[in-house]
Amino acid sequence: MLDESGAPRSATVMPNPLREGLAEERVPEPAVMVIFGASGDLAHRKLLPALYSLTRDRLLPARFAIVGFARRAISDDTFREEMRAACNEHARRRPIDPALWSAFARNIFYHQGEYEDPAAFVALKQRLADIEKSLGLHGNRVFYLATPPSSFASVIRSLGQAELAPKPPPPGAPKPLGAPPPFARVIIEKPFGSDLETARALNRDVHEALDERQIYRIDHYLGKETVQNLLVFRFANGIFEPIWNNRFVDHVQITGAESIGVEARGGYFEQAGSLRDMVQNHLLQVLSLFAMEPPVAFDPDAVRDEKLKVLKALRYIPASDFEQYVVRAQYAAGSSGGQAVRGYREEANVSPTSTTETFVALKLNIDSWRWAGVPFYVRSGKRLPKRVTEIAVHFKEAPHLLFGRRGDSIRPNVLAIRIQPDEGIALNFGSKLPGPAMEIAPVSMEFRYGSSFGVEPPEAYERLLLDCLLGDMTLFTRADEVEASWAWVSRIHRRWAEDAAQQESGRAVLPTYPAGSWGPAAAEKLMTADGRAWRLP
Amino acid sequence: MRLQGEIERFVRGEPIAVEVGEIERALGSLWQEASRVGDTVAVSRAALWNVIIPARGRAALATTKQLVDEIAPALPTRTLTLCLDDADAQGSGALEATIESNVVSQPGGARMVYSEEITIAGPSAAEGHFGALVRALQVAGVPTATFWLDPTAPESLLTRELLAVTNRLVLDTTACVRPQQLFDMERLSMAAQPLPIADLGWLRLGALRAMFAGIFDPPVGGAPLVQAARVTIHHRAGSDAGALLLLAWIGVMLGWRPLRAAQTSDGGVRFDFARAGQPVAGHLVPADGACGRSGMFGIEVTTDAGDRYAIRRTAIDQAELRTPGVPPKPVKLDSPSDAELAIAALGSRGRDPLFARCLSYARQLWSLETDTAASRR
């Protein structure tokens, strides 16, 4: 029973006895989600389709509202129509169900305002109060910052000034009598800063208005099933953890390849480059999950503490041998998907003299007992032959080759963890060929999510939005993790800047690779110099 | 070497008749040949479960085979369908077997996944052979689920043989046309202890239960449930077993003690409970209309103060949540297919210990009703 303000009459809310036994479905508390940047690509392609899919899977609470906030002056109905079209195009299950959409759309609203205008946030506060009252919500709010990064600080400041996201009581503070206070959480999209200094500055701004426990820095890679399966694979199976170290592992290759070019994002990519766009966030997060020590518990801070240790243990690349550890390049004209494609410098919104890297290959070392002497080779690029993200663990050879060396038929075992597409795990090993001779051939034992479970995994954003509503921060990046990864990456950027300054032109000299190839020759040399080769993923 | 035509029929998913004692060998040979003749795609033979489904009579066999075909795209299994059929009087009385593949193209088309289906049919007299055949044909290293979907034959030699090699028992209480059949289902569940038991009927009620439970999440909270004076379950006539399970769920969760039962003038049944010394009434009310296979129209709780909290079906896949003080909220009410429920039964939702408690409680409730009916006679 609710009073006129929409709050429960009773001071305390009794637990729901019917929830027991329905625990496998984690349903968050009723809430409203405000999306800043609601006119943008992310809201259309990912956020609203993800919220629709969650509703379809009955994973959102019965009382849930969405408020889009952007600069354009449009009505609730226009916004709903735009979102309907977006969900029809991008939702996991299409076409959308008209009956379900009708119920879902009723609680979608739009609020026009400028991100830098404090008055717009005061008006938003009143709008939220009205919506919450009409729908019987009691003040739980999630604010999603899907705006350009330049607006992050001003939006957060305005949220603070309008008292839209009050800080929770400090940890250990006595619990208030009655119902717990409503939550206010803020999801911040990447990029979180563009180097160590800007990341630190943004963290300072954020912490002035919010408590770290309210901040959900999203890296959608962590929402992918296979990335989460890394934890299960390592810590729920007794046989892998004993060989997950430098006694058995020769080296590890992490590939994040894209077949597309910069498409319409030339302006953004010019400022970012592959190292910022892929490595600093996605691939270092994957690496830290792969390489971390077992956490003491499966709770957010225990997991993030271990990831942080890995990031802090990344050895800084030595200045003297920089080229043996870092390769960057830019794609030139070539072929992709059977069609001729132009080079990076010919792309829209890209400078014809651009020195932004579209490919980067790195050799990393983790200074820890577990990984001492095991190099991690990481590469990422655009306009590579195919879209694939995988981790390949190359194990050491058998200590004694009983059958001798027969060409390349005896190869070290490789465990390939495919993050996308065709999510799964494959183990390569040698097997005797049938017949009288002792012929050995490499074979592969594969597990594929699609084949084994026959279900379509949820989109990464579905999982992450749900986790935020549930208050589970495990798959979100903490402030110190962000700063640790920037601390490592920013040194490379500084070195590149120094190298450029030494050139007569003041610009870096970048090798190129033809679109549709696996990168420049220098990337191959990075491996061959160590007597190794990139795996073809 | 198999005939080319036979291999093509097998890959197309058509049944191939084989000797009962040669099933495994024939399957091995067909898979091997199929991968040799496959020109463009690799052949994966996959099984995450052994699924055993007994079926009595040809009609049940046809229904079962349709279910198996619908499960195949989502879950690779080796399915053994065991058909007892005395209708074919001219038959030799010997067991007959067919094997077939279930073919699934994966998104992207790069892979084909195959799972396999074995059907063994014979007269009731051949029942004694089934246990040994099942043991011989189970794929090693994967669990076995027995789908016992026929509530009319809960105990037999076959049941005892199958439970011994089963890791999960799957029932379907929706098939209980009389609530008394819940007694048989409970006996079978007890015999299967400590196996996890899944019930397609229970899973069919899942969406309604989850939606109804959601009403009492914050900010409403569980207070109205604790103050409930009356609970009404509206159901289709003939779906009493499902309605009883729903009422049992609420009774179990709220700790109500069943006292007595009586038939009502509207053709339903009224149950009286004690709740912390206070009386609570539970009504099963039959009604007409479209409500999917679950047979349920809605649940309503009325508190001591007269406040009503309800979920009511407004269309076959639509419902309305009603809470005092806020406008009714329309919600989508899923009606999953039998195949979707069967797949769920083999997942984590098929290990719901609450079902066994509610089944036992439902049996206890119906005992009150039958006792009352007997005393009236």
CA gap B183, B180 in Å, rounded: 6
What average pLDDT does chain A have?
89
- Please give the angle made by the CA atoms of A455, A459 and A461, to the nearest 5 degrees: 155
Q: Which stretches within A210-279 are classed as H helix?
A: 225-235, 266-274
Contact status, residue A155 vs residue A144, Cβ threshold 8 Å: no
- What is d(CA B342, CA B145) in angstroms, rounded to the nearest whole number? 10
- pLDDT at res. A527: 95
**CB within 8 Å of B101: residues ≥ 6 apart:** B10, B11, B13, B30, B34, B114, B115, B116, B117
Count of other CB atoms within 10 angstroms of residue A15: 14
pLDDT per position as a tens digit, B208-219: 998 899 899 877
The pLDDT assigned to A176 comes to: 67
Is the sign of the CA dihedral B341, B345, B347, B351 positive or negative? positive
B137 backbone φψ class: left, alpha, beta (φ>0; ψ -120 to 50): alpha
- The residues of A annotated with a catalytic role in the active site are 282
Give the one of A18, A24, A102 whose C-beta lies nearest to B213's C-beta. A18
- Among the partner residues A18, A103, A135, nearest to B225 by beta-carbon distance: A18
State the average pLDDT over residues A375-386.
96
More confident residue, A181 or A276: A276
Q: What is the pLDDT of residue B101?
A: 86
Check if the beta carbon of residue A108 is closer than 8 Å to that of residue A66: yes
The answer to whether residue B344 neighbours chain A at the CB level (below 8 Å) is no
The confidence score (pLDDT) of residue A100 equals 85
Crossing angle for the helix pair B4-11 and B23-37, to the nearest 10 degrees:
90
Instruction: For B311, name the nearest residue in chain A, comparing CA atoms only.
Output: A62
Please give the average per-residue pLDDT across A92-115, as a whole number: 90
What does A470-481 look like in DSSP terms, one character per residue? HT--TTSB-HHH
For residue A328, which of A353, A358, A354 has the smallest C-alpha distance? A358
According to the model, what pLDDT value does residue A2 have?
A: 34
> How many residues can be counted in chain A?
537
Query: What pLDDT does A14 receive?
Result: 81
For chain A, percent of residues with pLDDT exceeding 90: 67
> Are A8 and B323 inside 8 Å of each other by CB?
no
Contact: B218, A29; criterion CB under 8 Å: yes
Phi-psi region of B35 (alpha: psi -120 to 50; beta: other; left: phi over 0): alpha
Query: What is the share, in percent, of chain A residues with pLDDT greater than 70?
Result: 94
Task: Specify the amino acid at residue A510.
Answer: L
Burial (0-12, 13-18, 19+ Cβ within 10 Å), B140: exposed
Interchain proximity B113–A138, CB inside 8 Å: no
- Spatial contact of A447 and A416, defined as CB atoms under 8 Å apart: no
Helix, strand, coil: what percent of chain B each, to 5? Answer: 40, 30, 30
**CA pair distance A318, B343, nearest whole angstrom:** 55
Q: Please give the Cα distance from A94 to A78 (Å, whole number).
A: 21
Residue B12 Cα distances to A62, B9, B77, angstroms: 45, 5, 17
Residues A185-199, mean pLDDT to the nearest whole number: 94
Q: Residue B345 and residue B343: Cα distance in Å, rounded? A: 5
Contact call for A1 and B331, based on CB within 8 A: no
pTM value > 0.80:
no
- What's the pLDDT score for residue A6? 35
**According to the model, what pLDDT value does residue A139 have?**
92
User: Who wins on pLDDT, A62 or B351?
Assistant: B351
Q: Which residues of A touch B47 (CB under 8 A)?
A: none
Contact indicator for B103, B112 with CB cutoff of 8 Å: yes
B177 CA: distance to closest CA in chain A (Å): 26
The predicted pLDDT at position A3 comes to 36
Of A83, A67, A70, nearest to A155 (Cα)? A70
As given in the structure block, the two tokens for residue B262 are 């009586």
> Using CA atoms, how far apart are residues B214 and B320, in angstroms rounded to an integer?
12
Cβ–Cβ gap B108/A13 under 8 Å = no
pLDDT recorded at residue B2: 61
A251, pLDDT greater than 50: yes
Residue A391's pLDDT is what?
A: 96
Cα–Cα distance measured from residue A284 to residue A307, given in angstroms and rounded to the nearest whole number? 10
Question: Would you give the DSSP letter of residue B349?
Answer: G
B142 close contact with A: CB closer than 8 A: no
**A16 contacts B216? CB cut-off 8 A:** yes
In this structure, the number of other CB atoms found within 10 A of the CB of residue A366 comes to 24
Give the number of C-alpha atoms closer than 13 A to the C-alpha of residue B232, restricted to the C-beta side: 17
What distance in Å separates residue A10's CA from the closest CA in chain B? 9
Whether B221 and A25 lie within 8 Å, measured CB to CB: no
Q: Is B219–A13 a contact, with Cβ atoms under 8 angstroms apart?
A: yes
CA dist., res. A332 & res. A330, Å (int): 6
Cα separation of A30 and B64, whole Å?
42
Instruction: Please give chain B's pLDDT, 377 residues, in tens.
Output: 566 777 778 877 888 999 988 898 888 888 777 766 555 455 667 788 999 999 988 888 998 988 888 888 778 889 999 998 877 655 566 889 999 988 766 555 544 666 889 999 998 888 888 888 898 898 887 899 999 988 776 677 778 888 888 999 999 999 888 888 888 889 888 888 889 999 999 999 998 998 899 899 877 889 999 999 999 999 999 899 999 999 999 999 999 999 999 999 988 999 999 998 899 999 999 998 888 889 999 999 999 999 999 999 998 888 999 999 888 888 888 788 888 899 989 988 888 889 999 999 999 999 887 776 666 55
Residue B15: asked if its preceding bond is cis (omega within 30°), the reply is no
Nearest beta carbon to residue A22 from set B210, B226, B254: B210
B47 touches chain A (CB under 8 A): no
Are B108 and A58 inside 8 Å of each other by CB?
no
pLDDT score for B159 = 81
Residue of chain A nearest B321, judged by CA positions? A62
pLDDT (tens digit per residue) in A289-299: 999 999 999 88
Give the least confident one: A14-18, A373-377, A475-479, B51-55.
A14-18
- Looking at CA atoms only, how far is residue A415 from chain B in angstroms? 20
Least reliable range by pLDDT among A124-133, A175-184, A363-372: A175-184
pLDDT at B44: 66
Q: Is the pLDDT of residue A161 over 90?
A: yes
Average pLDDT over residues A167-171: 85
Residue A401 tokens read as 């080759």
Instruction: Report whether B37 contacts B47 (CB < 8 A).
Output: no
| Identity of the residue in A16, A452, A454 whose CB atom sits nearest the CB atom of B217 | A16
Q: How far apart are CA A132 and CA B354, in angstroms?
A: 35
- Among B107, B218, B349, the residue with its CB nearest the CB of A24 is B349
Residue B308, pLDDT score = 96
pLDDT at A110: 97
Taking CA atoms, what residue in A is nearest to B75?
Answer: A454
- When pLDDT is cut at 50, 70 and 90, the band that residue A423 belongs to is confident
pLDDT for A264 beyond 90: no
Instruction: Establish, for the pair of chains A and B, how many residue pairs have beta carbons separated by less than 8 Å.
Output: 141
Listed residue (B330, B315, B325, B346) closest to B211, CA to CA: B330
Which residue has better confidence, B335 or A51? A51
